Structure 1
Amino acid sequence: MTDLLAAIPEAPEPDWATAFRMPIVECGEPMEALGTSQGFLVWPAYHRLGIPNALPECHARAGVFARLLQAAKLLPDGLRLVVLDAWRPFAVQQHLYDTLYDILRQHEPNADPAELTRRTREFVAPPSTRAEAPSPHLTGGAVDISLCDQDGRWLDMGSLFDEATPRSYTRHYEDATDGHGRAIRDRRRLLFNVMREVGFSNLSSEWWHYDYGDQLWAWHTGAPAAIYGPAQVPSLEQLWRQQLHNLRP
């Protein structure tokens, strides 16, 4: 069993070009609604924030759901996981990427476009629906999570969810010397270690972002291939068509 307060190791920024070249051997796991869980809380952040096309429910692959339940059971008494986002429609991914890029460009109008792209990618993955290189959240393998107490009150994690500043880097508080900073450090360590214990990898620029089964996870962990490619939350029409198709002799 991993020490749940072990230090968070240093990790490089993702090499997106290399990660997107990782092979995908799709395992066919279904997507599941996370809001039915009794083991953790779900708060669909982008829907609550009014982001266009964001869904009122969080969906993820069955294997991700199972590992979230395992991680929740590893937490000390009185703490709970909160899922903020999981599978994400492409329109939402594009909106987040474009919006952050434009804000950074307005803030620093003389910045080099390549540097703006790099900084945008720290907090929003490049939008892609390509079968061989989908954005992590489009696979159902990526989740954004935080911690709350037993009554559902958010814990201070040192930055806001999706805050585009260095405070969001997972290791930002590792060298904290004051009591408040050390408390944040320990919460981030706890979240990091329970998620790693059940098989997730973390995006080093976002303390809240974890992957399982997608190309970013394969790149981080050294797995030979990703097991999740692009996924969809099926509409009722699609379900009816599939059901009728399955009835054919």
Structure 2
Amino acid sequence: MTDPAQWVSTPIPSLAEPDWPALSRLPITGSAERLVPMSLAPPPIRVFPAYARLGVPDAVNECYLREGVYRRLLAVARSLPQGLTLLVLDGWRPWRVQQYLFETLSDSIRDASPGIDEQALLERTREFVSLPSRSPDAPSPHLTGGAVDVTLCDADGLPLNMGTLFDEAVPASHAAALETQATAQLPNSARDNRRLLYHAMLAQGFTNLPSEWWHFDYGDQLWAHYHGHAQALYGPAELDTIENRWRRQL
């Protein structure tokens, strides 16, 4: 499906949340694809490294992604109706940022729900932030460079109404939430914007995390899980540094 008119008229399906233990057992072939900064991308694509701008400790002031993901995002941006484009909010994350996000959300849920048991707390936290992991066999999706957080924006760079904010940890942030719930306060334009983003991304090979309308994957274990692949492409990645470069050269 490549027609934007069809994208807007096609509902987002309601998918089950990932089976994280099963997902973590999917083998990873590994890839030498480099991480590249999305700020290299030509117009009309836009980049706003949300966590750095929000003051999250150790967040990088750039959105790095695997080269294959970078090229697919450009294809998505070029497929959108005139006057609209992608706003890239986050890509590869340092492990410390993943840990900060997980602990901060977990603490917030515990404060809001005194007495919550540990299993329920874990499940509610993982709904919006995956476990921090640098394991070569089961890395957090954003540590691979294959996971990306995106939204749509207009020609002036202003984000479109998607019904909830990026990283808003509420049920309405589930990708398909606006397909079923009453929309007195969440207009059809937000539902249609989600549909457009969802189907444009899937047309370029991405998969979506059902609990987050903004989160898409290519090449990581989440992608393999939702595409039905026997193995993933991307394991954990690290930014190239001048020290690493010199050590390789010498």
Is the pair's TM-score, using the shorter chain for normalization, greater than 0.5? yes
Aligned counterpart in structure 1 of residue 55 of structure 2, from 31, 43, 50: 50
**Does 2:14 match 1:4?**
no
Q: 1:136 to 1:166 in 2, by over 3 A?
A: same
- Residue correspondences, number: 244
Residue aligning to 1:95: 100
Name the SS of the counterpart of 1:25 in structure 2.
coil
Shift of the 13–103 alpha-carbon distance from structure 1 to 2, 3 Å rule, reads same
Structure 1 gap segments, 5+ residues each: none
How far did residue 158 of structure 1 move? 0.7
1:74 equivalenced with 2:69 (yes/no): no
Question: Does the 8 Å CA contact 2:163/2:186 hold for their aligned counterparts?
Answer: no
SS of residue paired to 1:117: helix
Partner of 1:106: 111
- The root-mean-square deviation of aligned C-alpha atoms, in Å, is 1.2
Amino acid at match of 1:32: V
Distance 2:49 2:185 in 1: 31
Match of 1:65 in 2: 70
Is it true that 1:214 corresponds to 2:220 in the alignment?
yes
Counterpart CA distance in 2 for 1:99 and 1:153 is 28
CA offsets, 1:163-185, max 9 Å, x none?
A: 01011111111135559521111
Deviations 1:122-176 (A, max 9, x none): 1001110001000000000000001110110111111111001011111111135
Q: Write the mapping of 1:7-22 to structure 2, written as runs, cut at 5 A.
A: 7-22=11-26
Q: What's the TM-score once normalised by structure 2's chain length? A: 0.95
Q: Distance in 2 between matches of 1:9 and 1:105?
A: 31
Identical counterparts, % of pairs: 50
Q: Which runs of 5+ in 2 are unaligned?
A: none
Structure 1, residues 31-73: CA drift from partner, whole Å, max 9, x if none?
Answer: 1111111141000000000000000111000000000001111
Residue from 110, 123, 129 that aligns with 1:124: 129
Cα distance, 1:28 vs structure 2: 1.3
Ranges of 4+ aligned residues in structure 1 off by more than 6 Å: none
Normalised by the length of structure 1, the TM-score is: 0.95
Aligned to 2:173: 168
